[in-house]
Amino acid sequence: MISKYRSFFLLIIILISLGLHLFNLSFPNKAVGDEAYFSTFSADYRLGKPHLDVHPPLGKLLFSLPLFFMPKEKIQNLLVIDEVKKNEDKMEIKIKNLNYDSSPYFLLRLLSAFFGVLLVFLVYLFIKILTQKESVALLSAFFVALDNALLVQTRLILLDGFYLVFGFLALILFFKKKPLPIIAGLFWGLALGVKLTAAVFLGPIILKVLLTKNEEKEEVRQKAATFFVIGIITILLIEIFGNNLFISPEKQISFYQSLKPYSFFSQIQSLANHLGSLKNIFLALFVSFYQILISFGGYTGTGDVHPQQSPWYGWPLMIKPMFYLLEKNEHLQIASVGNPVIWTLIFLSVVGGFFLIFKKNKWLENDWQMFWLLFGSYGFSFLIFTFISRTTFIYHYLPALIFGIGLASWFIVKFLQNETKKQKIIFITLIIALTILGFLTFAPFTFGFAFKI
């Protein structure tokens, strides 16, 4: 039955996701949370203004694309960051409490929403390729569409939708029946070009290399190596061209010097002046190298203490959600809070997975998909943050969350495989009803409805 109506079910799920992404998308009419940074940085690319950011440039460049079709005066209201200046050798950032009004912020959120809807479809494709089960893929897509945290992160002017879409495209192309490691590596590089967090997508590929049989191991290893090399080349090219395409290297050097007026930047400028026709190339390469150091430094340094930061071990239980809007006087809240039913199912599935392995359960005899989802996907993308010393937030859990959704869907379908048709319908209906109820429970946090604190 599912195979017969799979296109219909998938279309309904995608339409649900589209409706949820577009609903009340214009609220609030001001920057909330990290929107202030990414809207400003995107406008900077359009206006040719230098800035300093821990993330690679691709995500902000994507947000800047709609701005090139608009007059510059309409873009001024996207410059939410008022001032970045040196204060006792530290950068001080002031954010305007600015209403967007008629500025193009809605188009930027619309672009983010498009990637959020696309993510639902790509998760369906990836889980279907990995598990070879239509029912698992459809259930995974449904859970992704109804998770409140994923919805918030792909409705606002944030980078998560971009790197998740590129990352899952990379996995689809690598794990398909006839792999395309070069194109897959290119998309992984694009994901890295948005956020270095996309390194988590290496997990399933590493596990594939480790678990492949001896006679096929060398071929898989070569494809994985190709994937990795192409990805690294792609991120390097993004850093070089992305950082210098719309903002001249000389402007950026002057900007760095104004933030930290060390003689080092003056010496770089002086050296470049002696290189003649090679001056611009030298400065472009230096700017790119400096930005790469900033990006990697942002993931290896400890960073400042943030009131909303959360440690990796608290993510599965949603111990500390991320608030983007919190106005007590008007009782308005927007927060990255997950669907409690989905997150509970994931937690139980992870515990159940380790239990099956410990008991050497017969479920695992001819079905290895759980290993891919538990270790190579969920485990890798979750535990990799134990080695990162930077400040972390609950949105860093998103890749593991999606892999966990695949794991939970696998468990549900596996549990029902020997049940009668009637029992399957009753159980799935109950799961769907509970998921919708869980979504509606936290909908006020997702859409910013009036809510008493």
180 phi, psi to nearest 5 deg: -125, 75
Give the model's pLDDT for residue 382: 80
Residue 200 lies in a domain: no
- Residue ranges of alpha helices (H) inside 260-368 are 263-273, 279-300, 340-359
More confident residue, 169 or 320: 169
Distance, first Cα to last Cα, the chain: 46
Q: What are the tens digits of pLDDT across the range 289-311? A: 888 777 776 665 555 677 888 88
Q: Average pLDDT, whole number, for the chain?
A: 85
The residue that leads in pLDDT, 114 or 368, is 114
DSSP state of 125: H
Q: Residue range 62-83: average pLDDT?
A: 81
pLDDT of residue 431: 96
Percent of the chain at pLDDT > 70 equals 87
pLDDT at 329 > cutoff 60: no
Q: What is the pLDDT of residues 4-53, one digit of tens each?
A: 677 899 999 999 999 999 998 988 888 888 898 898 899 889 888 888 88
Task: Please tell me what DSSP assigns to residue 427.
Answer: H
More confident residue, 417 or 412: 412
pLDDT digits (tens, 9 = 90+) for 243-278: 888 888 888 877 777 766 566 777 777 777 777 778
Q: What is the mean pLDDT of residues 143-170?
A: 97
| CB neighbour class for 192 (10 Å; exposed up to 12, middle 13-18, buried from 19) | buried
Give the pLDDT score at 298.
64
pTM of the full predicted structure?
0.91
CA distances from 349 to 286, 296, 344, 364, 384 (A): 48, 33, 8, 14, 20
Q: What pLDDT is recorded for position 240?
A: 86
Residue 53 in domain: yes
pLDDT of residue 354 exceeding 90: no
- Residue 313 predicted with pLDDT over 80: yes
Distances 96 to 35, 77, 289, 327, 330 between C-alpha atoms, Å: 12, 10, 31, 16, 19
- The band of 424, judged by pLDDT with boundaries at 50, 70 and 90, is confident
Contacting residues for 427 by C-beta, under 8 A, at least 6 apart: 412, 416, 419
Lookup: tokens for 14: 């995608």
Q: Flag whether 219 is in a domain.
A: no
Position 44 in a domain: yes
Does residue 250 belong to any structural domain of this protein?
no
62 against 335, higher pLDDT: 62
Q: Read off the pLDDT of residues 104-147 as tens digits, 9 standing for 90 and up.
A: 888 999 999 999 999 999 999 999 998 889 999 999 999 999 99
Using the predicted structure, report yes or no on whether residue 93 has a pLDDT greater than 80.
no
> Does residue 66 belong to any structural domain of this protein?
yes
The predicted pLDDT at position 186 comes to 97
Task: Examine the pLDDT at 81 and tell me if it is beyond 80.
Answer: no
Q: What is the DSSP string of 62-87?
A: HHHGGGGGS-HHHHGGG--EEEEEEE
Does residue 359 carry a pLDDT above 80?
no
183 within domain boundaries: no
- Per the model's pLDDT, the better-predicted residue between 369 and 149 turns out to be 149
Range of the domain at 48: 31-103
Domain assignment present for 91: yes
Comparing 328 with 38, the larger pLDDT belongs to: 38
Distance between CA 150 and CA 161 in Å, rounded?
9
Give the chain's domain count. Answer: 1
- Give the residue with greater pLDDT, 424 vs 432: 432
On the question of pLDDT at 451 being above 50, the answer is no
